[in-house]
Amino acid sequence: MHLSRLALTDFRSYAAADVELAPGVSTFTGANGQGKTNLVEAAAYVATFGSHRVATDAPLIRHGAQRAILRAAVTSTERDNLVEIEINQGKANRVRLNRVPLPRPREALGTLRCVLFAPEDLAIVKGDPDQRRRYLDELLVATRPRFAGVRADYDRVLRQRTALLKSAKAARFTGQGGAGGAAPSALEVWDDHLVASGAELTAGRLELTAALRPLAAKAYAAVSGEDMTTGMSYRQSGREDEPAADRAALTEGLRESLARVRRAELERGVCLVGPHRDDIELRIGELPARGYASHGESWSLALALRLAAYDLLRSGGDDPVLMLDDVFAELDSGRRESLAGLVSGAEQVLVTAAVPADVPALLAGQRFEVSGGAVFRA
């Protein structure tokens, strides 16, 4: 699979850009702030319908414009596709696949598959649990697109249940909450929904963690050159051990956990149990990576996680597009060469770099220069 064309209108710094791409390596160089990262961000948005840099779509629209438009031509072994995305200010985005409007944008997920490594990925290792959950969930949707619906259902249920808990808490303070602050009857209905979608999402994450574990360990050894073992364990809220990916057992466990924290939830007005509170523990040797790993070890582990994702995706068919955004500037020469050797055989690699000399010679290919919101073939 590869991108053969990427066209942008009013996206970030680009009033308009149209780039023709080919299989192999394409490198985008230019001074900082010229728009290199905006290109790979746009390509990744086509694959995931989200940005790796911001949580909302508003910053993606060029200042002064009402909408941004992305067009991506995707070539794969099965067929050629054209994905068009209209990112709108203050209203729902619109998506077309091969000129046909889609009632639900997520129906286009999987048309383009990519793995993007960027400096922000250091947060997967060093940051809060939400960064690691996001890493898992995005990969889960990329490998099994139906989980986009599962995750959307869980998020909707979580919002509704949290709103109900907040209302119950407020009612207690105004004396309207009933004897002993009893739970509203509607909470039981939302409990059932939370348990159903939460158990399915947790099971998918557990299965994915098990598949990633050996791939990440292999990639870490290759990138770092160190003889160190790595570990990856799923930590479910309220449990010390990693549960099995048994949907029936997970359903029962979630239901029991909700009953156990019922009083605390009503007192605090928040949902204390569920996949939104889970974490992935990453280890190097016997120690947790977060808080113990050096800067170099953290970079190597973050790279290993993305390379593991790449290996997992390519095992399901076409190679995904691999994007390396300003990665080589952060690596020493040994890690640069190791990474180049690992990715040089990919069907398509998009690289950004402020300094052309940072990119190893092994990744020679198409060269583009980015300057002032324009892209030129070097």
* Portion of the chain with pLDDT greater than 90, in percent: 81
For the chain, how many structural domains are there in total? 1
- Give pLDDT tens digits for 31-62: 999 999 999 999 999 999 999 999 899 999 99
* Portion of the chain with pLDDT greater than 70, in percent: 97
Q: 196-214: b or e for each residue (b if 16 or more CB lie within 10 Å)? A: bbbbbbbbbbbebbebbbe
Quote the pTM value.
0.91
CATH number, residue 53:
3.40.50.300
Angle, CA of 353, 356 and 360, to the nearest 5° = 95
- Strand pairing class (100-101; 67-75): unpaired
Is residue 189, in this structure, part of any structural domain at all? no
Range of the domain at 17: 1-113+318-378
Is residue 143, in this structure, part of any structural domain at all? no
Is residue 335, in this structure, part of any structural domain at all? yes
Is residue 37, in this structure, part of any structural domain at all? yes
Is residue 83, in this structure, part of any structural domain at all? yes
Do 3 and 74 touch, CB atoms closer than 8 A?
A: yes
pLDDT score recorded for residue 183: 63
Is residue 88, in this structure, part of any structural domain at all? yes
CA–CA gap between residue 90 and residue 256 (Å, rounded)? 41
Is residue 290, in this structure, part of any structural domain at all? no
CA–CA gap between residue 248 and residue 239 (Å, rounded)? 17
Report the 10 Å Cβ neighbour count for 365. Answer: 16
Mean of pLDDT values over 228-256: 92
